Amino acid sequence: MVNEKIPDKDIIAKIKSIMPEDEFLYDLADLYKVFGDTTRIKILYVLFESEMCVCDIAQLLGMTQSAISHQLKVLKQSKLVKYRREGKTVFYSLADDHVRTIIDQGVEHIEE
């Protein structure tokens, strides 16, 4: 005879009541997927230091402007970077301090 534990209905009910909706969890998972690309992480590190245009980021990272623009589009869609236009030049920067916090916490976790 196998001794199976009976699920704790109180704990299950409590956790179910505080669990976010699936749509919210999908959005959260999508946000973390953005951090799964080394190029995007490099771009974020660059933007920690200074607001920059695509051509400067491309030069710094040794990549094409097209490749950088593509990654910046993903970062903009995820609200991780913002931009401002000055004449024909577009300058990118971190959207807010949360971006740095997310990266810093990841670094702290890796270094433990």
pLDDT digits (tens, 9 = 90+) for 97-110: 999 999 999 999 99
Q: pTM (2 decimals)?
A: 0.85
Q: Please state, rounded to an integer, the average pLDDT across all residues of the chain.
A: 95
pLDDT digit string (tens) for 77-94?
999 999 999 999 999 999
Using alpha carbons, select from 54, 25, 41 the residue that is nearest to residue 110. Answer: 41
Burial of 47 (0-12, 13-18, 19+ CB in 10 A): buried
d(CA 60, CA 63): 8
Which pLDDT score is estimated for 70? 97
Those residues whose C-beta lies under 8 Å from the C-beta of residue 45, and which sit 6 or more positions away, are: 103
